[in-house]
Amino acid sequence: MFPELTREELAAGMDAVVEEILRRAAVAGPPVDAFTVARALGMTVVWDDRQAGRARYVRLKGHRDPKPRGTILLKSDPRRERRQWAVAHEIGEHLAPRVFAVWGVDPRETASSAREIAANHLAGRLLLPTGWFAADARSCRWDLLALKAKYSTASHELIARRMLECAVPVIVSIFDQRRISFRRSNLPGRTPPPLQIEARCWQQAHTQNRHVVKTLGPYRTQVWPVHEEDWKREIIRTEVQECWDVMEDDMGAGTACGFAKDQ
């Protein structure tokens, strides 16, 4: 985000701000309710189904209090996790100036997208605080369903994406209706195409609708089906024990095993 700061410095600054806010909100453990945090910050959440987006952060003056007050205008949504994320994101917008100050960065000298990026990262850390999440993930061996049960206000996808921000080297993929909608790694360099072990595990989880775990050489692959009546999603986490060069023999298996990369 800012070339003068390392990734570790950026993360530490955001984690420090989130930890302070959770203490202020008296949130001692998961799950984190973004609505509770908003109230602790003196913010008001108002339902507004007329707006196009899920939520937006504004400052409104009250009839009795002429001082502008932070307000989140929230569009109704049947999914709890989407409501929680929308509020958490707007809290991130509210906290962005504070984290810029911690970084020692003048927001007026940053790219126009910097505040939005910071708000997204703050929202993820608010619902999945780094210290708690990393410890819980290690203790359950990164079981997505166990983590979802504990961090119920976060979506399966957000939990999977947050795994990329931990120290363990992994590849995280999301398949929607048999197509890759997301694939990232936290290791440097190019993320490889689906590996043979991933393809085999994915196919088994997709067809049998059950959690699959396999270890092959330096890879430990876990696949969780998140299936609904009219939509099939699978989330894959592959932990890598060695460097990228050991992957070369395992690349290119995706198409043969039924993967179709989303263009």
Please report, for the domain that includes residue 32, its CATH number: 1.10.10.2910
Assess whether 194 and 111 both reside in one domain: no
Among 109, 133, 157, which residue terminates a domain? 133
Does some domain include residue 222?
yes
Examine the fold and report which residue of 110, 133, 156 is the final residue of a domain before the chain moves on. 133
Q: Strand, helix or coil at 59?
A: strand
What pLDDT is attached to residue 183? 97
In a domain, 116, yes or no: yes
- Report the candidate in 99, 124, 107, 120 with the shortest Cα–Cα distance to residue 14: 99
Q: Domain containing 77: what range?
A: 7-133
pLDDT at 243: 54
Tell me, yes or no, whether 143 lies in a domain.
no
- Higher per-residue confidence, 244 vs 208: 208
27 and 125 share a domain?
Answer: yes
pLDDT in tens, 81-111: 999 999 999 999 999 999 999 999 887 777 7
What is the per-residue pLDDT across 117-151, written as a single tens digit (0 to 9) for each? Answer: 999 999 999 999 999 999 999 999 999 999 999 99
Residues 125 and 213 in one domain: no
| Amino acid (one-letter) located at 199 | A
Tokens of 99: 């984290």
| 32, burial (CB in 10 Å: exposed 0-12, middle 13-18, buried 19+) | buried
pTM: 0.85
pLDDT at 247: 46
List, in sequence order, the alpha helices (H) in the chain: 7-24, 34-40, 80-103, 114-127, 130-139, 144-150, 156-163, 196-208
Residue 115 lies in a domain: yes
128 & 177 share domain: no
Instruction: Give the pLDDT mean for 250-258.
Output: 39
Q: Are residues 12 and 77 in the same domain?
A: yes
Our count of domains for the chain comes to 2
Q: Are residues 174 and 129 part of one domain? A: no
Are 122 and 187 within one domain? Answer: no
How many CA atoms lie less than 13 Å away from 7 in the CB half-sphere? 7
Residue 1 lies in a domain: no
Q: Are 237 and 170 in contact (CB under 8 A)?
A: yes
My answer on whether 101 and 210 are in the same domain is no
The residues, ordered by sequence, that sit 6+ positions from 173 with a Cβ below 8 Å of its Cβ are 180, 182, 183, 194, 198, 235, 236, 238
In the predicted model, what is the mean pLDDT of residues 148-169?
96
Q: What is the mean pLDDT of residues 181-195?
A: 92
**Do 42 and 70 contact (CB within 8 A), yes or no?**
yes
What is residue 66's predicted lDDT score, i.e. its pLDDT? Answer: 56
Least confident of 125-139, 197-211, 216-230, 234-248: 234-248
In a domain, 146, yes or no: no
pLDDT of res. 242 = 65
Residues 122 and 52 in one domain: yes
Query: How big is the chain, counted in residues?
Result: 263
Amino acid symbol at 237: R
- Cis preceding linkage at 31, omega within 30: yes
Both 11 and 115 in one domain: the answer is yes
Place of tokens 């990228």: 244
The pLDDT tens digits of the residues spanning 31-82 come to 999 999 999 998 888 777 787 777 776 765 555 555 666 788 788 878 899 9
Residue 113 pLDDT level (bands cut at 50, 70, 90): confident
Please say whether the beta carbons of 154 and 133 come within 8 A. no
Is 142 a member of any domain? no
Task: List the beta bridge partners of residue 183.
Answer: 173
Residues 18 and 128 occupy one common structural domain:
yes
- Are 89 and 158 spatial neighbours (Cβ–Cβ below 8 Å)? no
Are residues 14 and 128 both part of a single domain?
A: yes
Among 115, 133, 151, which residue terminates a domain? 133
